[in-house]
Structure 1
Amino acid sequence: MASSNFIDYVKIHARSGAGGAGSIHFRREKYVDKGGPDGGDGGRGGHVILKGNTQLWTLLHLKYTKHVKADAGKAGEGGRRAGAQGKDIFLEVPLGTIAKDAETGKILAEITEEGQEIILLPGGRGGLGNDHFKTSTKQTPQYAQPGEPEQEMWVVLELKVLADVGLVGFPNAGKSTLLSVVSAARPEIADYPFTTLTPNLGVVAYRDYKSFVMADIPGIIEGASQGKGLGLRFLRHIERNSLLLFMIPADSEDLAAEYETLLNELRQYNPSLLDKQRLIAISKIDLIEAGQRDELIKQLPAEIPNILISAITQEGIEQLKDLIWTTLNKSLSVY
């Protein structure tokens, strides 16, 4: 099934490489019976590195990768020859990936740009060879540094979809239909709850070759913040959206109550989500009489911009794009 291809959570045991030991070596050549110390340094151990890749949109490629281990550095050699560095391990991840310590939950790294590289676990430093420890009073040091040990931990990689606009609404609010109309995305659409089981991204073309990214987040239900329905599995994707577009169908029994329920689920999950810019789209207006429209608008909070749309008849779609673009760029228009 296509839904199984979207993986946004993996747990991996990562281990960096140990540093190579410094060399204890003395120069030995013909006619040089007391050559000085010339032990080389050990090589650095390999890092475990996260790297952003815009060609990836899921963590599927890491689903069965349970252990990653970078190579250890090589030991130093005589003649002041340094040991080779251990090979680094690169974990390529989609933009929006967060790495956490699996035991403490501490955020270790966050990838948001193409080609961005963050060392997740540094390799151990190579030890210094005995050449570094010679002095005027100790000209034949019989010791060198060992390499630093490797580091290891269980790491959780968690993907949060990056988008300009996140669609928020109950199942069957028309989110997938809207995304299919305004972009080239083709999410599964059917008249039953939870048709959308994975976040879908679409690039919405705007005027003068401008565009913005819209994300269809699987439907929220009451109690989602406590794990009901699809619950916490997809609420985290909303955290990365710049603007939240609440979609409430025109045939809803109580628009105001539906909006408040959605708002409360976001509040329970993460109160900071309420600081994001919000818009309300009343969808499926083709299902109601024209005279009922004013009554619908009166049910909604006056301080939140709203618009009536129909993805079927295309009514209000261009105006919705204008409203989204204006809202996204509101902070820029001040200057």
Structure 2
Amino acid sequence: GETVADLTEHGKKVLIAAGGKGGLGNLHFKTSVNRAPRQMTPGEAGQYRALRLELKVLADVGLLGMPNAGKSTLITAVSNARPKIADYPFTTLHPHLGVVRVGPEQSFVIADIPGLIEGASEGAGLGHLFLRHLSRTSLLLHIIDCAPMDEAADPVHEAEALAEELAKYDPALAEKPRWIVLNKIDLVPQEEREELFARLRSALAGDGRPFFAISAAAREGLEPLLNAIAEALDTKRREAEALAGDVRFAEGEAGEPAEEVDLAAR
């Protein structure tokens, strides 16, 4: 259906349906001669619209991943959010927001949604019901389980399938910056990590997108990830402020040219 309005700022108002025009009562027709008038005019009916209200949470960073990739563990490790965590799929049933603080005066909001599976764009699973909550984010973290319990599971195939589902659901969402974050590295033997990371980096981040390896449960590798996110968001904010300044200057009125004075004639 048609989008009537998108309220993205606190206090923003929009006219959805105009109210009716009031009629004139008998008091309006009272005069010194006609002290008790019986005239009146009917009012006009207001507009009627049937609306569907849709909530989209406001977050700077969104978490994407298959069920049990460790998204809820990550948001718990880095923020004040406390979603339910368990070792079965679809533990998360609704979005969770957490505030991540990386300094005394620097923080950002992160959103966790239910995991996505193949066919999500066609209604499979739960994640597609909540993808709209990621539409306002500036950055997506694609969380990948690099040590799945099912030995037949292929992290590369699952990651590529999720990216395809994202593009099918909303091409604009697929165009957002998407960083690759390997999770559960504590479950990978130390001697196997380098080879595994190199293979997954080549397959999933060969285009140069940021690539991180962490363990949310063991709190390993989180600081570099959070610092990189904070820096990226700060850069985007400064660019947006600079662009807004350019727009204001372009829309402003040019000053009147100064009057030329011939000093030699004086």
TM range (shorter): 0.7 to 0.9
Letter in 2 for 1:190: A
**What does residue 278 of structure 1 align with?**
178
Alpha-carbon contact 1:225-1:235 (below 8 Å) kept: no
Aligned ranges for residues 198-277 of structure 1 at < 5 Å?
A: 198-252=94-148, 253-277=153-177
Alpha-carbon contact 1:255-1:300 (below 8 Å) kept: no
Say whether residues 1:190 and 2:86 are aligned partners. yes
Letter in 1 for 2:106: K
Structure 1 position 256, deviation (Å): 2.3
Per-residue CA deviations over 1:196-226 (Å, capped at 9, x if unaligned) read 0000000001123210000001111111110
Alignment match of 2:10 (pick from 114, 119, 122): 114
Alignment match of 2:215 (pick from 310, 328, 332): 310
Letter in 2 for 1:299: A
Per-residue CA deviations over 1:247-297 (Å, capped at 9, x if unaligned) read 001114433222211111110001111221111110000000223333333
Runs of 4+ aligned residues of structure 1 deviating over 6 Å after TM superposition are none
Alpha-carbon contact 1:124-1:151 (below 8 Å) kept: yes
Structure 1 position 127, deviation (Å): 4.5
Q: What secondary structure does 1:117 align onto?
A: coil
Aligned ranges for residues 47-62 of structure 1 at < 5 Å?
A: none
Alpha-carbon contact 1:247-1:283 (below 8 Å) kept: yes
Q: How many aligned residue pairs are there?
A: 223
Unaligned runs of 5+ in 1: 1-104, 133-141
C-alpha distance in 1 between matches for 2:59 and 2:104:
20
C-alpha distance in 1 between matches for 2:2 and 2:170:
17
Per-residue CA deviations over 1:287-308 (Å, capped at 9, x if unaligned) read 0022333333333222210101
Alpha-carbon contact 2:116-2:128 (below 8 Å) kept: no
Per-residue CA deviations over 1:64-101 (Å, capped at 9, x if unaligned) read xxxxxxxxxxxxxxxxxxxxxxxxxxxxxxxxxxxxxx
Aligned ranges for residues 16-27 of structure 1 at < 5 Å?
A: none
Alpha-carbon contact 2:182-2:213 (below 8 Å) kept: yes
Alpha-carbon contact 1:203-1:211 (below 8 Å) kept: yes
Letter in 2 for 1:308: A
Residues 267 and 202 from structure 1, CA distance in 2 versus in 1: closer, same or farther, beyond 3 angstroms? same
Query: Where is the helix percentage greater, Structure 1 or Structure 2?
Result: 2
Letter in 1 for 2:204: L
**What does residue 99 of structure 1 align with?**
none
C-alpha distance in 1 between matches for 2:121 and 2:161:
11
C-alpha distance in 2 between matches for 1:237 and 1:289:
36
Structure 1 position 109, deviation (Å): 1.9
If the length of structure 1 is used for normalisation, what is the TM-score? 0.61
Q: What secondary structure does 1:215 align onto?
A: strand
Q: What secondary structure does 2:80 align onto?
A: coil
Structure 1 position 129, deviation (Å): 8.1
RMSD: 2.4
Alpha-carbon contact 2:61-2:138 (below 8 Å) kept: yes
Q: What secondary structure does 1:108 align onto?
A: coil
Unaligned runs of 5+ in 2: 29-37, 243-266
Residues 319 and 108 from structure 1, CA distance in 2 versus in 1: closer, same or farther, beyond 3 angstroms? same
C-alpha distance in 1 between matches for 2:41 and 2:4:
29
Alpha-carbon contact 1:283-1:311 (below 8 Å) kept: yes
Letter in 2 for 1:312: A
